[in-house]
Amino acid sequence: MNAHATTLDTMQQYSWPGNIRDLQNVIERGVILADGEVFRLEPGTLVVETPTNAADLMESTVLPDQQKAQIEAVLRETRGRISGPDGAATRLGAPASTLESRIRALKINKHQFRSVV
């Protein structure tokens, strides 16, 4: 991934807890520290937090790769079961319809986990 895409992706994935002021500060700092004409964020400028519990996983601020890995792990544990008391949705603390939507968005093949022992 090139530097432009990395910077853009990082900025889009960040939750911006300070909203516009936080964004303004990051851009000002990036411009001040820029070596050339291309805006880049230094590694570690924006730290995307790893979800601390399963319910946080469904938040849009979590990186898609992290969501996919966690959802696949839970699907493996539940052998592809989405709903019900022993289903992945219950374990993730999300409605089954929300989990189904995330599975489709992340292009996860939930059926591959049905045969996992």
pLDDT in tens, 72-114: 988 988 889 998 888 888 888 888 888 999 999 999 998 898 8
Residue 63 CA to residue 116 CA, distance in Å, equals 26
SS3 for 40? coil
* pLDDT value of position 52: 45
Tokens of 58: 């469904």
Q: What is the pLDDT of residues 13-23, one digit of tens each?
A: 777 766 788 88
Structure tokens at 39: 């805006």
- CA torsion, points 114, 95, 19, 39, in degrees to nearest 10? 20
Residue 43 · residue 79 · CB < 8 Å:
no
Residue 1: the pLDDT is 59
**116: pLDDT strictly greater than 60:** no
Name the residue with higher pLDDT: 95 or 57.
Answer: 95
Query: Is pTM beyond 0.75 here?
Result: no
- HSE at residue 62, side-chain half, CA atoms within 13 A, is 19
What does the pLDDT look like over 15-47, one tens digit per residue?
Answer: 776 678 888 888 888 888 778 888 887 766 776
d(CA 30, CA 96) in angstroms, rounded, equals 41
